[in-house]
Amino acid sequence: MKIIYLVLIHFFIGMTLIAQDGDFTVSDSYVVFKDGNAPAFTLLLQNKGSSDISVGAISIVGAHDDEFGIVNDGCSSTTLGSGTHCNIGVKFTPKNNGIKNALLHIPYDSKFLSVFLTNHEDNAHDVKKRLPPVIHSIINTEEMNASISYTIQWSLTGYHDSYKTKVVMFDCSGITNGACGSSYSNSEKFLESSFLTYSSKEDANWTYRGQHASLFNYTYTATIPASRANGDDWNASGTDTVMRFYVLAGDDEKNNKTSLSLMIPGNISHRYYDTSGRKMEVTICPSGGCQ
């Protein structure tokens, strides 16, 4: 049995574990313990479906299964109703030095989920922390007319295949310079896409330890509202607005974490509204154009 699970572990090292099936999810698919003094790591198991899920006896398997332990197990041999969750803790207690790997085996109904446990972070996971996602390019006009449809295209460089992004626009008329659009929930918001999945991807130029980043391409078409966020007409001479982009990785979405504001690098020829490079200026004109 150990030989079989050892083969599985080596297979999982080279791929990203997806610890979910849509209805049943676990908060993390890959847990790294830096040393034996690390506190127990708590995992959240959730039933996101409409039917009960029966969780079996959760265990640790693999070449070093005796150096990882389960603590505070509130999940084994339980039934999770729709919309409910449970917690289980995992501890690392190494017996000696060296790279240690195991799998947390979570059986449920007639299926199972696996969580990879290790004290060594491989390149594929390490690189995701080295390069945060960043806007690579944007195709959009800097002057847009009310009641007209426009297509905004942008690309993102990063390492997560599960990235979703959204574009948000804010009406900045009468707001202190630099303060407009400080949060995507601000009242001056007048246009917002949903979180979009990428339409295509390709290899990016960025590499780290042999791991290629990807270039994710997104497209959004929307009609500029006929009036401003507060219902007034757009200024005849043009209204200053801010465009921002937000990103949400799959693991963050699964764990109900908030999205992150994306940096717009200086190689993009648009006007910046702030000093941190996260807000891009766009002018909105009345439907007939600016005077």
Q: What domains are defined for the chain? A: 2-121 (2.60.40.10), 129-285 (2.60.40.10)
What is the distance between the alpha carbons of residues 189 and 171, in angstroms, rounded to a whole number?
6
Mean pLDDT of the chain: 83
**pLDDT tens per residue, range 233-284:** 999 999 989 999 999 877 666 666 778 888 887 666 667 777 778 888 899 9
**The pLDDT of residue 20:** 53
**pLDDT tens per residue, range 48-90:** 899 999 999 999 999 899 999 999 999 999 999 999 999 999 9
**The pLDDT of residue 251:** 65
**pLDDT tens per residue, range 182-202:** 887 888 899 999 999 999 999
**pLDDT tens per residue, range 206-241:** 776 667 788 999 999 999 999 998 889 999 999 989
**The pLDDT of residue 175:** 73
